[in-house]
Structure 1
Amino acid sequence: MLCTRIRTALSARLDGEELPPGLTARRLETHLADCRECRRWERQSRALTAVLRRAAGHPEDDVDDPAAADALLARLRPAAVQPGPVSPGRADSGGKRAG
């Protein structure tokens, strides 16, 4: 089984979502038992999620709560950098220099 598919499933599971069609929890666990890289990826993903939850002021037991993830995303959206105005004559040229 492709590790990318397993990691998609791990991400879904971490977010409290259903596993992708055709992939059972047993197949996921079997792959993890045999794949050190996917186990490492899952460990790092869980650690990152826990750090983000703490930074957002959520207790550890909220790690698997999709509503907590939605609340965090709602708070982060207003803080996103908004694009600034484009000066006349300085429009994006697709990476090419004007001149």
Structure 2
Amino acid sequence: MLCSRIRTALSARLDGEEPPPGHTARGLDGHLAACADCRDWEARARRLAALTAGRASADDREPGASADALLARLRAVSALPGAEDGDRVGEQAG
């Protein structure tokens, strides 16, 4: 199965939505067990979800300020020891 379809289903699961047709929790877990790239993708998606949790309501009050605060938090996390190059937010591969 294509990883892009798995990642779409993982995204739905992270959002608390039903998986797309043809996907089950067991199937997703089986793919994650066998695919390091998708495990890494899910870990990054979970970190991003944790960093952005609760930001939607704050965005309604002060969109510019909350965006700046979020970017600062993401930059701080990407600068932590052990952060891999692919995990750095806002940097492009050269």
- Secondary structure of residue in 1 paired with 2:53: helix
Gaps of 5+ in 2: 65-94
- Secondary structure of residue in 2 paired with 1:31: helix
Residue aligning to 1:21: 21
Q: CA deviation at 1:79?
A: 2.7
Residue correspondence of structure 1 range 29-68 to structure 2 within 5 A: 29-53=29-53, 56=55
TM norm structure 1: 0.57
Q: Percent identity, please.
A: 56
Alignment deviations for residues 21-80 of structure 1 (CA, whole Å, 9 cap, x no partner): 0111111111000000000000000001101116x3xxxxxxxxxxxxxxx1x6536737
Q: Which has the higher contact order (CA 8 A, sep 6+)?
A: 1
What count of residue pairs does the alignment treat as equivalent?
63
- Supply the distance in 1 between the matched residues of 2:5 and 2:38 (Cα, whole angstroms): 10
- Supply the distance in 2 between the matched residues of 1:75 and 1:53 (Cα, whole angstroms): 10
- Supply the distance in 2 between the matched residues of 1:51 and 1:79 (Cα, whole angstroms): 16
Gaps of 5+ in 1: 57-71, 81-99
Structure 1 moving runs of 4+ over 4 Å: none
TM norm structure 2: 0.60
Residue aligning to 2:63: 79
Residue aligning to 1:68: none
- Supply the distance in 1 between the matched residues of 2:17 and 2:59 (Cα, whole angstroms): 21
Residue aligning to 2:8: 8
- Supply the distance in 2 between the matched residues of 1:47 and 1:11 (Cα, whole angstroms): 12
Structure exhibiting the larger radius of gyration computed from Cα positions: 1
